[in-house]
Amino acid sequence: MFKQGPVDFDWRGLAPYWALVSKDPSLRAPSRIPRVGDLIDLEVALEEDRERPIEVLLARDARIGRELAAAGLDDRGLVLAWVDRVRSSPESPGQAIEALLRLSSLLLVGAGLLSGALAVAGWLWTGARVPVNVVQLWPALVGLQLVLAVFWVLVRLAPGWLTRSVGDGLSTWLPTAFGALAVRFAPPGARDAWNRFRALDRVYAGLRFWRATQLSQAFAVAFNVGALAALFFIPTVDDPAFGWRSRLMDAGELQRVTTVIATPWAAVWPDALPTRDEILATADSSLESAVDAEAGAAGHSEVWAAWWPFLVASFVVYGLLPRLVLRGVAGLRMRRLLGGIDFDHEGCVRLRERLRRPVVDGRAAGEEVTGAHPGSLEPPLAPLELPDRVQVVRWAGVPGTAEQLGERLARVFGVMVDGAETAGGLDLDADAAALAALRDAAAVLVVVEAWEAPSADYLDFLRKLRGGLGERAPVIVLTCDVGVDGQPTDVDPRHLALWRRHLAALADPWLRVEALPADARPRGAS
Amino acid sequence: MTAPVFAVVGHVNRGKSSVVSTLSADPSVAVDDTPGTTRAARAYPMRVDDEVLYTLYDTPGFERARHVLAWLRERETGTGERAALVRRFVDEHAGTGEFAPECELLKPILDGAGILYVVDASIPATPAVEAETEILRWTGRPRMALLNPIGERDFSAQWRPILDQYFSLVRVFDAHEADFARRIGLLRSLGELSEDWRPAIDRAIEVLDGDRGFRLRESARVVADALVDLVTHCEEKRLDSDAASDPEKSGLEARYYAQLAERELRLRRDLRRLHLHDDLQVEQAVTDAASVEQLDEDLFDLTTWSQLGLSRSQLAAAGAAAGAVVGAGVDVSVGGSSLLLGTAVGGIAGAASALWGFGQLAQVRVLGLQLGGRLLRIGPMSNRNFPWVILDRALVFHAAVAHRAHARRTPVDLRAAEGVVAALPRDVRGKLESAFEVLRKSPGPDALHAATASLAGEIEAILREREPGRSPPTPR
Ligand SMILES: Nc1nc2c(ncn2[C@@H]2O[C@H](COP(=O)(O)OP(=O)(O)OP(=O)(O)O)[C@@H](O)[C@H]2O)c(=O)[nH]1
Ligand SMILES: [Mg+2]
């Protein structure tokens, strides 16, 4: 997940120009470095997507993908741009958490300043009456800090048991504690988001440690700044006195220790080291006499001037500087980790596929206007009485010869076929001839192909036929069917129903639609 | 790259709209057994992002072809003028009612479309066909005939010689049976109609192939997600007293099974949408409380379960395979000095636990809560066959929607469908079982993600495996 690499320059501002220059999609613009809030919002959005119907996701991401296509974003940039678009509002959980982190960082800085100043002030104030014992002050305010800083570094660096036992404990507990603290004041949405984010350790575990380091070191830096400020400010309103008293060290030893401590700044600020005389002068017993004897400001200032520069330099070198370095390292690590996230876990891979896929669509736009359904089924009509003699029209697609058909009809209906015409062929004159021959016939059987759709062609013919016959002559449309072997078969009832439904459009009370049964085989056929 | 246009034409009620619906994967095309359903030419542009690669036109069917041909023949002066004469026919008759369908269908052709002439291979040819094909020939456009068998009978032997006279290509395309591979096969044939159209069609095929891959992959992912949700699902209820009453228990149980059923339905909905069958009706069982109440030891005697999932012995085998994987890890860690004992023990343990969990249902348990009170919880489902049954149903469902032609609208009944997981190769079953095993153990986020990803991968492989081959339409 995290790639080691140089810290990226922030290219964000250049992206639009990049898009102008590069039309080649393989040259993608480097993307901005994500923020923690982006990561949280990403995970929240992916989680919410699990509940969404797939077509909603496909449509949304196709749209976003199209909008983003022109920008030529790389994998990470694409995901970030997507997050920017889908996050619920400016107060998205991720941004709420970012704001909380900023707020807690501010609060910690404030608390650091205050506690630094108070700590120093607390020590120095007593100095107005009793001189401050440097041998106690230094370890409490500077030495302890140094130990903690070294410990923090060891936690991160030291291999083996230390890292595993103490380090793991600290690096999980501390950020969790920070997080929990921040989230305590957060709205429920942000709380959920934070918990979900914590569940994603797999992806973002490294971030939490460094974020916590950033926060804690901000506090520590502020603590030292506050302490220094107090150190500078208090002598202007009060007269603190420094001295020393120790059962473990004599003046010589103390001088050796202070010299060692002052090594880092010996070259730049040699005066920030009490001289042997000053050490002797500020030893506990002599100090009291000095204060007693002179009781004047001038002498007093000499007393604190012996130790004050040393303390200032100690706070700067052993308090402020290491904390600044730690804070800086944490910042760099955060940037590098965030910059190294390439969003290659399953959810992001899937997301990018939705964003980048070509959107294929073959469907028509808009609503289709379809043909009006023909009238309802023909109302059940009584069968027509056929006269003994009928005329027959054979539609051109009906298989078999006119004679075979005549025989079949005679057998099935017991009618004499008077004459057989053909219509429906390519020759329209034949239709006209048939209509002329049928003028004033007593009854007409129109034999049609049952499998054919009752198209307008048939309807035209039947209308014209009725026109020539007069109103009451029975017309029977007889559907017939044929098998693959060329032999007559029964008519599919669905076909018959279709014909009936469609010819109902003629609204002809003297017209019926019937089916010619298969067993009416022409004589001689098996 | 020229984007070709194809007009799907033919006699009324021959399945033109069905062909268009299936080819464009658009289930909203009006398909009906009433002749004259399609009233106007309608464009189905095949778009990739904003580019149109080709366009299909659905058209109304010929109704009075004989009369159109007679009109044309009466005015024929020379062979060279035929297309112009057809144009004149359209110009003179557009707007009049009589030849409205013919004008609508000829217009795209006169504007440069290729012709896809659809006939029903299950009925005999009639003279109307001759009129129609002759008119189409007069337009002089590249053309192909499609034999679409609507009914059972097969008259294609009768059709071939007729169509061969008029069409450079004749293909069989069953608009209601064609799966994705056949769609692509037909597209390829369309590309053969003209050299100019080839690049666009090839590109369309490439894009459609990619899209198909995406949809299969996405299907596998939604199935995997649903499996995870279903197997790990729990329902909880806070109790005021120390013990749970029976109504509390059964209420919680009912809610649990209702949630399972809802999740399964959501999966099916997603699968339908992924394959663009938005409104297709599919009948299939879900895990429901009613059937579960009768379930006891005899869980697998129920008809819906007995044909799905794995048999007792298959499940034991899968459990053994999954256990062996874990055991093999032990062997590796001791440098092989255990003489494969780890594998053997793991396998036996896996098989044993699979057998033991065969009849187990989700249990209702009362848990202590830290801050006073107690918690009544049901789930996750301990039944070992449960994920298999769910997977089976999902695969059956997927097959029903993924291979279904979009022209076909009749409801699908899968209630008695044969299961498929029992036929999966052993090693695949083993891999799936180890993922299920992880899910059953209330995994942490890492393990859960890994198991989900592995499930999705396996399922995608199964779906791809079950994708019918890319056989071209029957050559003539
Ligand atoms: N079984 C089966 N039925 C089909 C097939 N193709 C079409 N049908 C049926 O045939 C009928 C007509 O289909 P449509 O696609 O509407 O035919 P069309 O040519 O567009 O019809 P019109 O628009 O009325 O000219 C419908 O009832 C379809 O369900 C097929 O391949 N198999
Ligand atoms: Mg139609």
Give tens-digit pLDDT for B451-468. Answer: 999 999 999 999 999 988
Residues of chain A positioned with their CB less than 8 A from the CB of B33 = 494, 498
pLDDT tens, position by position, B249-278: 888 888 888 898 899 999 999 999 999 998
CA-based nearest residue to A365, from B47, B6, B103, B33: B47
pLDDT at A337 over 90: no
Query: What is chain B's length?
Result: 476
Query: Which has the higher per-residue pLDDT, B218 or B316?
Result: B218
DSSP state letter for B300: G
pLDDT of residue B470: 44
Contact A362 B45 (CB under 8 A): yes
The answer to whether B226 and B261 have CB atoms below 8 angstroms apart is no
CA of B409 to the centre of ligand 2 (A): 14
The answer to whether A127 and A234 have CB atoms below 8 angstroms apart is no
pLDDT tens, position by position, A69-124: 888 888 889 999 999 998 866 677 778 778 888 888 899 999 999 999 998 888 87
DSSP state letter for B422: G
* Pairing of the two strands B364-368 and B114-120: unpaired
Q: Is B206 on the interface with A (CB under 8 A)?
A: no
pLDDT of residue A380: 57
* Pairing of the two strands A488-489 and A475-482: antiparallel
Q: Is B34 on the interface with A (CB under 8 A)?
A: yes
Q: Is A513 on the interface with B (CB under 8 A)?
A: no
CA of A495 to the centre of ligand 2 (A): 18
Confidence band of A185 (pLDDT split at 50, 70, 90): low
Query: Which has the higher per-residue pLDDT, A309 or B362?
Result: A309
Share of chain B above pLDDT 70, in %: 83
Nearest to A358 among B49, B218, B269 (CB): B49
The answer to whether A104 and A215 have CB atoms below 8 angstroms apart is yes
pLDDT of residue A212: 79
How many other C-beta atoms lie within 10 A of the C-beta of residue B92?
A: 12
How distant is the Cα of B449 from the closest Cα of chain A, in angstroms?
8
Mutate to test the pocket of ligand 1, among B11, B12, B24, B31 (most ligand atoms within 8 A of CB): B31
Mean pLDDT of chain B: 85
User: Which residue has its alpha carbon closest to ligand 1 atom 7?
Assistant: B15
DSSP H helices in B33-99: 65-75, 82-93
Confidence band of A341 (pLDDT split at 50, 70, 90): confident
Q: Choose from A300-304, B237-241, B310-314 the range with maximum mean pLDDT.
A: B237-241
A339: which residues sit within 8 A by CB, 6+ positions away? A5, A7, A8, A33
Q: Which ligand 1 atom is at minimum distance from the Cα of B149? A: 31
Q: Which two tokens stand for residue A340?
A: 């190294």
Confidence band of B338 (pLDDT split at 50, 70, 90): low
User: Which residues are near ligand 2, the ion (C-beta closer than 5 Å)?
Assistant: B 16-17, 37-38
CB pairs under 8 A, 24+ apart, for A462-466?
Answer: A462/A503, A462/A506, A462/A508, A462/A511, A463/A506, A464/A435, A465/A393, A465/A435, A465/A438, A466/A506, A466/A508, A466/A510, A466/A511
Q: Which two tokens stand for residue A487?
A: 């032999």
Q: Is A411 on the interface with B (CB under 8 A)?
A: no
DSSP state letter for B334: T
Contact A370 B37 (CB under 8 A): yes
A143-178 burial by CB neighbour count: b if 16+ within 10 A, else e? eebeeebeebeebbeeeeeebeeebeebbbebbeeb
Range(s) for CATH 3.40.50.10140 in chain A?
382-515
Q: Is A111 on the interface with B (CB under 8 A)?
A: no
CA of A360 to the centre of ligand 2 (A): 24
Q: Is A509 on the interface with B (CB under 8 A)?
A: no
Contact B64 A455 (CB under 8 A): yes
Query: Of the bound ligands, which one is closest to the alpha carbon of residue B16?
Result: 1
Q: Which two tokens stand for residue A494?
A: 């669905």
CA-based nearest residue to A142, from A235, A251, A257, A255: A257
pLDDT of residue A381: 66
The answer to whether B231 and B381 have CB atoms below 8 angstroms apart is yes
Query: Of the bound ligands, which one is closest to the alpha carbon of residue B176?
Result: 1
pLDDT of residue B299: 36
Instruction: Tell me what the mean pLDDT of segment A499-512 comes to.
Output: 88
- The values of phi and psi at residue B411, to 5°, are -60, 150
Amino acid at residue number A252:
G
Nearest-angstrom CA–CA distance, A190 and A193: 5
Contact B124 A428 (CB under 8 A): no
Q: Choose from A373-382, A398-407, A486-495, B378-387 the range with maximum mean pLDDT.
A: A486-495
Mean pLDDT of chain A: 79
- Pocket of ligand 1 contains residue B15 by CB under 6 Å: yes
pLDDT of residue A288: 54
Nearest-angstrom CA–CA distance, B212 and B466: 13
Residues of chain A positioned with their CB less than 8 A from the CB of B72 = none
Q: How many CA atoms lie within 13 A of B218 on its CB side?
A: 26
For residue A57, give Cα distances in angstroms to A54, A131, A363, B190, B409.
Answer: 5, 73, 19, 33, 25
Nearest to B214 among A200, A357, A455 (CB): A357
- Pocket of ligand 1 contains residue B31 by CB under 6 Å: yes
CA-based nearest residue to B65, from B142, B9, B119, B11: B11
pLDDT at B172 over 50: yes
Mutate to test the pocket of ligand 1, among B13, B147, B186 (most ligand atoms within 8 A of CB): B13
Instruction: Tell me what the mean pLDDT of segment B309-318 comes to.
Output: 72
pLDDT of residue A223: 94
pLDDT at B307 over 80: no
Q: Which residue has the tokens 């988001």?
A: A193
- Pocket of ligand 1 contains residue B123 by CB under 6 Å: no
pLDDT tens, position by position, A394-409: 998 898 888 888 888 8
Instruction: Tell me what the mean pLDDT of segment B325-353 comes to.
Output: 65
Strands (E), B96-151: 114-120, 143-148
Nearest-angstrom CA–CA distance, A187 and A208: 21
For chain B, the first-to-last Cα distance in angstroms comes to 29
For residue B36, give Cα distances in angstroms to B3, B63, B262.
Answer: 29, 9, 41
- Pocket of ligand 1 contains residue B12 by CB under 6 Å: yes
pLDDT tens, position by position, A81-94: 999 998 866 677 77
Strands (E), A346-485: 360-361, 389-395, 416-423, 444-449, 475-482
Q: Does domain B5-196 have CATH number 3.40.50.300?
A: yes
User: Which residue has its alpha carbon closest to ligand 1 atom 30?
Assistant: B150
pLDDT tens, position by position, A254-273: 888 888 998 898 888 888 88
Residues of chain B positioned with their CB less than 8 A from the CB of A201 = 445-446
Domain at A382-515: CATH code: 3.40.50.10140
Q: Which ligand 1 atom is at minimum distance from the Cα of B20? A: 15
Residues of chain A positioned with their CB less than 8 A from the CB of B58 = 364
Residues 443-462 of A with CB under 8 A from B: 449, 451-457, 460
Q: Which two tokens stand for residue B255?
A: 């809610």
Peptide bond into B380 cis (omega under 30): yes
A364: which residues sit within 8 A by CB, 6+ positions away? B24, B26, B28, B29, B42, B43, B44, B45, B58
- Pocket of ligand 1 contains residue B119 by CB under 6 Å: no
Query: Which of the residues B123, B209, B280 would you substitute to probe the A interface, choosing the one with the greatest number of A C-beta atoms within 10 Å?
Result: B123
Cβ-Cβ pairs closer than 8 A, A with B, add up to 161
pLDDT of residue A157: 72
pLDDT of residue A190: 61
pLDDT tens, position by position, A34-73: 888 888 888 888 888 988 999 999 999 999 999 998 888 8
Q: Based on the number of CB atoms within 10 Å of its own CB, is B230 exposed (0-12), middle (13-18) or buried (19 or more)?
A: buried
pLDDT at B146 over 90: yes
pLDDT tens, position by position, B49-76: 989 999 999 999 999 999 999 999 999 8
